[in-house]
Amino acid sequence: MSARPESTNYEALVRQLNTLLDALHIPISLESPTELTPSLLIAILESLLSMRLPKEDRLQTREAINLQNTKLFLGILETDVLQVDVGLSNLDPRRLANGELEECVYIAELLCWIGRRLGHIVAEDPFELDDEPPSRALNTGSYSPSTSTTATRNTFTTSTFSTTHRRSDSNTSVESFRPSTPIRKSTPQHRSPPFRSKPRCIHEVPTPSVILSPNLDSSFAAAPSLRDCPDSPAPPSSPNVRYTGYISPVDEELELLSFEHSRSMSSRKIRDDSNSDQAELSYSLQALRESRARTLALYQERARLLEELARLESQQLRRPER
């Protein structure tokens, strides 16, 4: 395990981490972000999801168990909690498992951001709350515990999180961004103990990501209708009414003539439609009569031919054989 450098520039981050641990009923006090061990990360994730995660019993070495727990933490955090790509797939799980400062600080920032959104952490600065999680891109070709990684902050764009703010490209502190207007602090609410008596599958637990939308209050107290129901249609706009200007007098005779003309046109159209229907009906009756007459004539011709055939056959039978 690599040596853990003592961090003296992350007092606020460590203080928020300890507040999060206390809110999740984890009796551990940290002094540095590098103390986020794989087992502690799993405990934090289980407290956020209110369920136990499966453990791998076939692994023998402590390094293999730590690496497996780190991969499990990163996958579930990004897939089931955040439900958005923030660059965790580019993070080296070996460096995080070994307690490297750069990776531990980034995970600590993510956890503190989630804690603020869930209401577990009350922001010390009203400008501290941001609508988007910290994003990260690592310029590493492959995972290697000895390879140094360079972190850059990218502008994160998604339909779930707001893109109205941009974070700095170099500062890694959670207090680095200050918007132009303060955002009101979230109000902590009553929370039940982290673990329940009966474990549940992960698909049975409501994911915390529903409260990460910027349209909802960060206190996680919004009604389900605000999250699930579609936006109501906008009321129809009424036509504009003119209250000023000149209005010419009405010509009553012209209005009456126009009314009579429109009524006569409509009645004429009704008569035309009625005449057309009657013509079509008479045409149909005439065609039906002609069809029946042809059929009767064919039957009569068939009867005549059959009678003639019978007469010829009888004459053939009466003719004596020669």
Which positions ≥6 away from 259 have C-beta within 8 Å? none
The predicted pLDDT at position 306 comes to 92
Per-residue pLDDT tens digits for 145-180: 333 333 333 333 333 333 333 333 333 333 333 333
- Alpha-carbon span 49 to 80, nearest angstrom: 9
The predicted pLDDT at position 301 comes to 92
Torsion from C-alpha of 74, 79, 84, 88, nearest 10 degrees: 20
The predicted pLDDT at position 18 comes to 92
- Alpha-carbon span 23 to 190, nearest angstrom: 10
- Alpha-carbon span 181 to 50, nearest angstrom: 35
The predicted pLDDT at position 246 comes to 66
The predicted pLDDT at position 93 comes to 92
- 126 close to 182: Cβ distance less than 8 angstroms: yes
- Alpha-carbon span 13 to 16, nearest angstrom: 5
- Which pTM does this prediction carry? 0.43
- Residue stretches of the chain with pLDDT short of 50: 1-7, 127, 138-197, 210-211, 216-230
CA angle 143, 133, 216 (to 5 degrees): 145
For the chain, the structural domain boundaries read 11-225, 252-322
The predicted pLDDT at position 229 comes to 47
Rounded (10°) angle between helices 62-76 and 38-49: 30
Per cent of the chain over pLDDT 70 is 57
The phi, psi pair for 151, rounded to 5°, reads -100, 135
3-state SS record for the chain: CCCCCCCCCCHHHHHHHHHHHHHCCCCCCCCCHHHCCHHHHHHHHHHHHCCCCCCCCCCCCHHHHHHHHHHHHHHHHHHHHHCCCCCHHHCCHHHHHCCCHHHHHHHHHHHHHHHHHHCCCCCCCCCCCCCCCCCCEECCCCCCCCCCCCEECCCCCCCCCCCCCCCCCCCCCCCCCCCCCCCCCCCCCCCCCCCCCCCCCHHHCCCHHHHHCCCCCCCCCCCHHHHHCCCCCCCCCCCCCCCCCCCCCCCHHHHHHHHHHHHHHHHHHHHHHHHHHHHHHHHHHHHHHHHHHHHHHHHHHHHHHHHHHHHHHHHHHHCCCC
Per-residue pLDDT tens digits for 240-270: 766 777 667 778 888 888 888 888 777 777 7
